[in-house]
Amino acid sequence: MTGDFNIRDSNWDPLAHHHSIYTDDLMTIADSLGLKLSHPSNPGPTRFANNPYDSNSIIDLVFLPPYNLGFSKHVLHPKMCKPSDHVPLTIEVDIRNTDINIVIRSIKKDSEEELEFLNSITNGVLKLNISNTVTEEKLESSVWKLASIFQNAWTIHSKLK
């Protein structure tokens, strides 16, 4: 979760000498999403004041999952902020080079296997007793049985590609 929260608070901005009334709400929302405030690898202001009487501030924040190594940190890019007065933020995402084993199964159209697959489904559905599906639990059980009919027919009649 990231954005311009427009909250100056001493918890993240050393130039803010107060605690905002909105900080607790923001932290509660982040916590409910399993997120923690991320501190940039290169700390600094996230908004540069247009008025010489105002100070630069940290109001753009990033909240990341604390134990997800793939989303480990964020970076401020102050040299890239023109024409905006806000500093662009990026989140570094660790993408590992891994092999993903993909298994493809198929049934050839108009084949004997397709006919047997459809017959297995038809016979399974005809045997399915749904006459007493009067509660949510019984409906859920019937749906799982129906899914099993399709899964079993697919497993039996499909072939590895």
- Secondary structure class of 60 (helix, strand, coil): strand
8 Å CB contact between 119 and 79: no
R_g over Cα of the chain: 28
Mean pLDDT of 103-118: 94
Mean pLDDT in residue range 125-146: 90
- 3-state SS, residue 141: helix
CA–CA dist 81, 88 (Å, integer): 6
Domain boundary among 72, 93, 114: 93
Which helix (H) or strand (E) is 136 found in, with range? helix 136-157
Using one digit for the tens of pLDDT, what is the confidence trace for 48-75?
Answer: 988 888 889 999 999 998 877 777 788 9
pTM above 0.85, yes or no: no
The CATH number of the domain where 36 resides is what?
Answer: 3.60.10.10
7 and 43 belong to one structural domain? yes
CA-based torsion, 37, 41, 46, 52: positive or negative: positive
- 128 & 72 share domain: no
Q: Are residues 140 and 66 in the same domain?
A: no
Q: Which pLDDT band, with edges at 50, 70 and 90, does 86 fall under?
A: very high
Answer whether residue 97 shows pLDDT above 80.
Answer: no
**Average pLDDT for 90-97:** 80
Residues 84 and 7 in one domain: yes
Cα–Cα distance, 91 to 5 (Å, whole number):
17
Q: Which domain covers residue 42, as residue numbers?
A: 2-93
Structure letter (DSSP) for residue 99: -
Q: Considering the chain, what is the average pLDDT of its residues?
A: 90
Instruction: Say which residue the tokens 């902020």 belong to.
Output: 81
In a domain, 70, yes or no: yes
Tokens 């298994």 — which residue?
Answer: 103
The Cα 14–Cα 85 span in angstroms is 19
Q: What's the pLDDT tens digit per position in 4-27?
A: 999 999 999 988 888 889 999 999
Q: Evaluate if residue 30 carries a pLDDT over 90.
A: yes
For position 157, what pLDDT does the model report? 95
pLDDT of residue 76: 92
